[in-house]
Structures are given as structure tokens and as C-alpha cells.
């Protein structure tokens, strides 16, 4: 087998999330410009019941939904939990460079995705609970986030479920293009790329959590 696909320069897309740009780079494809604005595209994901739920969340509440005391301690605990989740997933990101076939990589990646969901979902709910105790404005933010997670989360899971298929195509391209005198290099390249994809997906999944955490930090009454 001859070729130099693994060594070929990659085009770097200029739009899209970090994960989308990385997948497009690995696939050596261009990202088409969106036909609609972000708001127009988002509207198509909402049915009328979702729109009512979002409107209700935006209109209230006018007071924090709990009388529990709130302090910097809540934000500090949330920061620790965010670091723990990131560290947990990052430590799992260890592809096997000796694997010659893609199915074991697929199963490993699906396991990583499951680990992200099982860790990030509860963390996001905990942050919303802390926001409910902080202020009326942040209680409203928590309510809006709950609606957005319900609506966008289903579409996000569907889209992220396609990532292993992108990785499989990349795996096959690298294997076909591997030089005969470097039989192991393509495997190492793939494992490195697979890990980068996982970390980019982790960044994407953590964006709502980090937004809630930033709001919680800014609301702490004893923040220096």
C-alpha cells in the first residue's frame, strides 16, 4: 500500500464550532455557509409547546425559587465539579493504537459519549438548582436553560451520534493512504485525531455548563 494521506496538509475551515471545524479538517471537506441565520435555524427545532414553555421561562419567575442561603461556596463547589467532569472524561480518552479494525474504536467512542452524558447532565441540573437560589434573574436563566436543554438536547444527541461515522471514514482514509514502510504511523495518527475529536466534543457539551457556572460566579454576594 502506498500513499501519503496521513502526511498531507489539511485545510482549516474558518466557520463552525471547534468540533465541526476539526471533523471537516480531518475529512478535508469545506463547511458550507449556513442558509439561515442562527435564530431562524433554531426556530425550526421548537414546536408550539416548546415556544410556550420558553415564553413562560422568559416571563418569570420574579423571585428566587428557594429561601436557601447562597454564597461563594456554591460557585466553588460547582467549579470543582466541572473540573472533575473534565478530568474524568479526559483520562478516559486513551485510544488503542494497536487496533487494526474500526469497530473497537467505535465502541470505545460510544462509551466516552455515554460517560459525558452521565456526568455532564447531572452537573448541569445541579448548576440550575444553585441559580434558582441566587436571584430572580438567575432563576429565570435556570428556567430558560431547562427548556433549551429539553429542545436542543435531543437534536444535539442525534447530531453527535454521527461522529463515530466521521471517524470511521477518517480511519479508512488513513489506512488506505499508509506508506508500506510505516505500517504503524497511521494508527498513531488516527488515535491522536480521535482523542482530539473527543476533547472537542467535550468542549461543545460543556459550553452550557460553563455558561451557567460563569453566571453563578458573577452572582456570588461575597465574590471579591
Give the 3-state DSSP-derived string for the chain, with helices as H, strands as E and coil as C: CCCCHHHCCCCCCCCCCHHHHHHHHHHCCCCCCCCCCHHHHHHCCCCHHHHHHHHHHHHCCCCCCCCCCCCHHHHHHHHHHHHHHHHHHHHHCCCCCCCCCCHHHHHHHHHHHHHHHHHHHHHHHHHHHHHHCCCHHHHHHHHHHHHHHHHHHHHHHHHHCCHHHHHHHHHHHHHHCCCCCCCCHHHHHHHHHHHHHHHHHHHHHHHHHHHHHHHHHHHCCCCC
Confidence of residue 13 (pLDDT cuts 50, 70, 90): very low
pLDDT digits (tens, 9 = 90+) for 18-52: 899 899 888 876 666 566 666 666 667 666 676 66
Q: How many CB atoms lie within 10 A of CB 176?
A: 12
The Cβ of residue 61 has, within 10 Å, a number of other Cβ atoms equal to 15
Model confidence band, residue 2 (pLDDT cutoffs 50, 70, 90): very low
* Average pLDDT rounded to a whole number, residues 98-126: 93
- Distance, in Å, from the CA atom of 23 to the CA atom of 165, rounded to the nearest integer, reads 11
Query: pLDDT: is 3 or 152 the higher one?
Result: 152
Evaluate if residue 203 carries a pLDDT over 90. yes
C-alpha Rg value of the chain to the nearest Å: 21
Residue 195 reports pLDDT greater than 90: yes
pLDDT confidence tier of residue 120, bands split at 50, 70 and 90: very high
135 confidence band (pLDDT: 50, 70, 90): confident
pLDDT of residue 133: 83
| Per-residue pLDDT, 98 | 84
- How many angstroms separate the CA atoms of 50 and 150, rounded? 9
Q: Which residue has the higher pLDDT, 156 or 14?
A: 156
Once rounded to an integer, what is the mean pLDDT over residues 130-148? 88
pTM over 0.85: no
Considering only residues 137 and 70, tell me which one the structure prediction assigns the higher pLDDT. 137
- The grid coordinates of residue 152 equal 436542543
Handedness of CA 212, 218, 220, 224 (dihedral sign): positive
Instruction: Read off the pLDDT band of 214 (50, 70, 90).
Output: very high
Output the average pLDDT for the chain: 80
Amino acid at each position: 500500500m502506498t500513499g501519503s494521506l496521513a502526511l498531507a496538509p489539511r485545510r482549516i475551515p474558518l466557520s463552525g464550532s471547534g468540533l465541526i471545524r476539526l471533523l471537516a479538517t480531518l475529512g478535508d471537506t469545506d463547511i458550507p455557509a449556513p442558509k439561515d441565520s442562527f435564530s431562524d435555524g433554531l426556530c425550526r427545532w421548537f414546536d408550539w409547546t416548546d415556544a410556550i414553555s420558553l415564553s413562560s421561562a422568559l416571563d418569570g419567575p420574579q423571585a428566587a425559587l428557594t429561601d436557601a442561603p447562597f454564597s461563594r461556596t456554591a460557585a466553588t463547589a460547582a467549579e470543582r465539579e466541572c473540573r472533575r467532569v473534565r478530568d474524568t472524561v479526559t483520562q478516559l480518552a486513551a485510544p488503542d493504537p494497536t487496533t487494526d479494525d474500526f469497530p473497537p474504536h467505535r465502541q470505545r467512542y460510544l462509551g466516552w459519549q455515554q460517560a459525558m452524558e452521565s456526568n455532564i447532565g447531572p452537573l448541569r441540573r445541579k448548576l440550575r438548582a444553585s441559580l434558582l437560589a441566587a436571584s430572580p434573574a438567575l432563576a429565570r436563566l435556570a428556567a430558560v436553560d431547562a427548556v433549551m436543554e429539553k429542545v436542543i438536547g435531543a437534536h444535539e444527541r442525534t447530531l453527535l451520534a454521527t461522529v463515530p461515522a466521521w471517524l470511521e471514514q477518517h480511519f479508512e482514509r488513513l489506512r488506505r493512504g499508509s506508506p508500506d514502510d510505516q505500517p504503524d504511523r497511521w494508527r498513531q495518527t488516527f488515535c491522536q485525531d480521535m482523542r482530539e475529536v473527543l476533547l472537542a466534543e467535550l468542549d461543545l457539551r460543556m459550553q452550557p455548563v460553563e455558561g451557567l457556572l460563569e453566571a453563578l460566579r458573577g452572582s456570588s454576594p461575597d465574590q471579591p
